[in-house]
Structure 1
């Protein structure tokens, strides 16, 4: 790891000049190079930066005079965020940076999140923030592999506590830039959603057969951030096909739970034209933090505490119908082929006779609604099995084999991206 790496440093150099230069100095002492981007509006840095605030405003088709004339710091910083994220994306595409680090309070963090989302997975992205890990940050603002560090004692001016944080952050982003193995698959990738293997067995049944067929398989834990990571990669065209079998992130969004993957869940692959096989796993529950009360209408409902972090409330038959309609509407927006596997005998390990989530009447309502709403262009496969049965996995493999045979799935890795 002797190659010099270049880190993009983003911040308001009019108010955080000393802190930002401290980070630059630490990275240089580690043997790295830096590009400094000033996203200030009113003031000026103590010394010129590589990318000035004028450059940032121009990238958003504005001038600093225009930004100031907005007369509102929120509007002004959103303009700067637009320019900064465009420049960040451009610098990465040109191979001029190997990672980014941004510093900020609420304003700087808001801007930094846009810059981080402009970078592909595998490019280190660190945000040193006074609100790191805060509930103020909406989950769908977070990029798939973002790293956040709490900026303790860092609101105004350098001090011992602040320098301890900033020096660690500088080392973290530079070390990550040196150590990262960028995604470069030598075989087509299948993206799959699931939950733990104790609840859903299809990933166990499918992974090795898919590998034997020449695929790489990436399984995403569908608890909010996992779904966002899948959507981010699908948007980039990373997958040869997506097996989107777990839908409760859409249910969580419907119910107002913060354990969601954003408004675009189950849309990115379809927009790209990537083939999708979908299923309704866990379409009978919504998740919420176990340390909070359930959202809204679920507060007086029975729930299952999976651990001290996450709990799940059971949906009624009508709510399962509502979720089925939402899932169907999302899938029908796809530009590529979509096939839906409907296991009529149950949708996870807790949905069997004798288990607390088993509700035959509500399950029948859910199955009935999917039979009604999954219509062309989506192809419905009505299966007389449980989702954990081998028959479910066999049907998924049958679809994959047909798509490979007819050219829907191309086995050349250059087809991705």
Structure 2
């Protein structure tokens, strides 16, 4: 008997030895394996549990159609759709407890879709020759995926790639055994922030919400954190959100650390009540160890650490951010309250701080009030976002919504 079953996916026509080695390492630790072939042209040495024909059919096509396309990208997208559908079906049926996908660029492209089809909390491992590469856009990386660099793994087994594959086998099986999936036994509040040095409201809000019987998850809004937040919002996982750090919207507009086009939309589409504030709206974040992008070279910047630096937006850029935020919130089908701190929206923009810009803040506030959708309620606050008055008002709105039944009670 095996305690956990892992889906092992890859192109068994070209990576049969490597995938078989990986599968045997999982079995050798007492785990179960289901194999999925996502190749198109060749055949595996032994039949897989999920054949390439089944994968293609689940993708709404066939292997022959993939071959007849004459294009490897088109063919692999057929297989990616099918692999994602098959993986989700296997998981929903209780057939798998985790997944590991092996590949180069083609296999990694497919792996991102397959892993994205599985809920947060399901162990997802990608062993890839391009792990951690900028080839992968943040919006395609699943929120809790793990990646292992497949060193020396482009073609054939060797002692170098076995070291990576054997670790990966232990990692995915160990994760499937150890994972504590989200309990969902209390209503969950999703909150965004940018770290205690620049935004501090969560220090007060999290314990206060927990006293009320809610669970609170705070997401670091630096690209991937926003992706995790949005993926859970799309699932309807939150009872309410406090989206107080939407600078990923600014990043997407101006080439920073984007969380994708759908940032600030999924909660609204899912009917989740939103309390919103524009923390760090005025910043565009870029990689700190690279040279400052030319488009940002003429403005003040703040080096947060050696990894991340933030540049200040101009007044007109802030107006564009305000219009974009309001447009996104206007799509919501549940209540939205926007708290607008007129005293500033991050610790670095206080009077006397290195990123203070009173004119830019005023321009943003004016545009927010002008562009606010009729379906949202906007409240200007004569306070800074890190002041006690801001957190007090956020809690008042929350409590009012609980009393009115907008937010479910624990």
Quote the offset at 1:299 in angstroms: 2.7
Distance 2:2 2:239 in 1: 33
Aligned residue in 2 for 1:141: 140
Moved more, 402-411 or 218-227: 402-411
TM-score normalised by the chain length of structure 1: 0.97
Equivalence map 1:124-139=2 (5 Å): 124-139=123-138
Aligned residue in 1 for 2:361: 363
Aligned residue in 1 for 2:81: 82
Aligned residue in 2 for 1:109: 108
Equivalence map 1:278-297=2 (5 Å): 278-297=276-295
CA contact (8 A) 1:255 1:295 kept: no
Aligned residue in 2 for 1:66: 65
Quote the offset at 1:61 in angstroms: 1.8
Quote the offset at 1:3 in angstroms: 6.3
Quote the offset at 1:375 in angstroms: 3.2
Equivalence map 1:346-385=2 (5 Å): 346-385=344-383
Quote the offset at 1:294 in angstroms: 3.4
Distance 2:361 2:212 in 1: 34
Distance 2:199 2:3 in 1: 45
Quote the offset at 1:295 in angstroms: 3.7
Aligned residue in 2 for 1:415: none
CA contact (8 A) 2:2 2:32 kept: no
Aligned residue in 2 for 1:411: 409
Equivalence map 1:13-412=2 (5 Å): 13-257=12-256, 259-411=257-409
CA contact (8 A) 1:11 1:104 kept: yes
Quote the offset at 1:296 in angstroms: 5.0
Moved more, 300-309 or 30-39: 300-309
CA contact (8 A) 1:187 1:411 kept: no
Alignment length (residue pairs)? 410
Distance 1:285 1:183 in 2: 32
Moved more, 7-16 or 286-295: 286-295
Question: Which secondary structure does the structure 2 equivalent of 1:246 belong to?
Answer: coil
Question: Which secondary structure does the structure 2 equivalent of 1:48 belong to?
Answer: coil
**RMSD of aligned alpha carbons:** 1.1
Distance 1:126 1:181 in 2: 17
Distance 1:410 1:42 in 2: 53
Question: Which secondary structure does the structure 2 equivalent of 1:281 belong to?
Answer: coil
CA contact (8 A) 2:327 2:373 kept: no
CA contact (8 A) 1:14 1:42 kept: yes
Superimposed CA distance per residue, residues 132-157 of structure 1 (whole angstroms, 9 cap, x where no aligned partner) = 00111111110000000000000010
Quote the offset at 1:411 in angstroms: 2.4
Distance 2:63 2:347 in 1: 58
Question: Which secondary structure does the structure 1 equivalent of 2:322 belong to?
Answer: helix
CA contact (8 A) 2:233 2:270 kept: yes
Distance 1:334 1:133 in 2: 34
CA contact (8 A) 2:301 2:355 kept: no
CA contact (8 A) 1:9 1:35 kept: yes
Quote the offset at 1:236 in angstroms: 1.0
CA contact (8 A) 1:293 1:299 kept: no
Q: Note the residue ranges of structure 1 that are not aligned, 5 or more in a row.
A: 413-417
Distance 2:102 2:160 in 1: 15
Quote the offset at 1:55 in angstroms: 0.3
